[in-house]
Amino acid sequence: MTGTVTPELASASGPETAIEMKAVNKWYGAFHVLRDVDLRVRRGERIVICGPSGSGKSTLIRCVNALESHQSGTIVVDGILLSRNHARIDEIRRDVGMVFQQFNLFPHLTILENCTLAPIWVRKMPRAEAVAIAMRYLERVKIPEQANKYPGQLSGGQQQRVAIARALCMSPRIMLFDEPTSSLDPEMVKEVLDVMVGLAEDGMTMVVVTHEMGFARQVADRVIFMDEGQIIEQNAPGPFFDHPQHERTKLFLSHILR
């Protein structure tokens, strides 16, 4: 019933470790959603997590920045042990950017204000500096001209790129992506993936829950397959896609790769 444990994963976390999860368990009521999950993410590593819906993959990355609390096991993020201590949680959240399936932009603020809100209020950055940084990242996601519009005036793909820029404005050391392209029109998936590829090329530590297998092949250092709250299989993308070992993985891949 345990997830795949390799000797490397059991080693103590050092400065080169971004995220370390050991024997993490979580229940929603009586439903055991994460079961003995062990996962170590090295700094600069790009990890793609896939699996059927309800497999716990979103829950897993939401545990990393404590949007969900786990009931047993340890999670160390950026050298900080995740506990119920709010100060510690806020410390982790400052350093971990997250991009959601539904964007979660703030509709009452302009694009620029969305990007400067957290730097100004959380990092206590002077407004002018926050604006300069926000414009730099908006240029990087190729929508500086939308800075003074409201999220509702942008397409889904543009909104998701703003969401990425907003997270980057906090200069995170780790980026989490929770199905970032799943609610986009097909025509807009690529523009978001392009931004993510660029981010990966710059060496950002990324944990991405996605079914975009092309992206996984191109960018991931490691692909993880989850089912029923457990890590079933993990491998480099080449062997993972070409020679899956576990029956469940083979079945899953046969459904999504045509």
Write down the least CB distance from residue 107 to other proteins, Å.
6
* DSSP H/E element including 91: helix 86-95
Which of 26, 35, 57, 166 binds other proteins (CB under 8 A)? It is: 166
Residues 78-97 that bind other proteins (CB under 8 A): 90, 93-94, 96-97
Sheet holding 205-209, edge to edge: 96-99, 174-178, 205-209, 46-50, 222-227, 230-235
Write down the least CB distance from residue 123 to other proteins, Å.
8
Q: Is the dihedral of CA 200, 204, 86, 35 positive or negative?
A: positive
* DSSP H/E element including 237: helix 237-242
Write down the least CB distance from residue 146 to other proteins, Å.
12
129 to 148: interface string for other proteins, x by CB under 8 A:
--------------------
3-state secondary structure 168-217: HCCCCCEEEEECCCCCCCHHHHHHHHHHHHHHHHCCCEEEEECCCHHHHH
CA separation for the pair 76, 79 (Å, rounded): 6
For other proteins, give the closer residue by CB, 96 or 216.
96
187's tokens: 């025509």
For other proteins, give the closer residue by CB, 70 or 166.
166
51's tokens: 């699996």
Write down the least CB distance from residue 5 to other proteins, Å.
29
Q: Total number of residues binding other proteins (CB under 8 A)? A: 28
Q: Which stretch binds other proteins (CB under 8 A): 32-40, 75-83, 102-110, 213-221?
A: 102-110
* Chain residues that interact with other proteins, rule: CB under 8 A: 65, 67, 90, 93-94, 96-98, 100, 102-108, 110, 117-118, 121-122, 149-150, 152-153, 166-167, 170
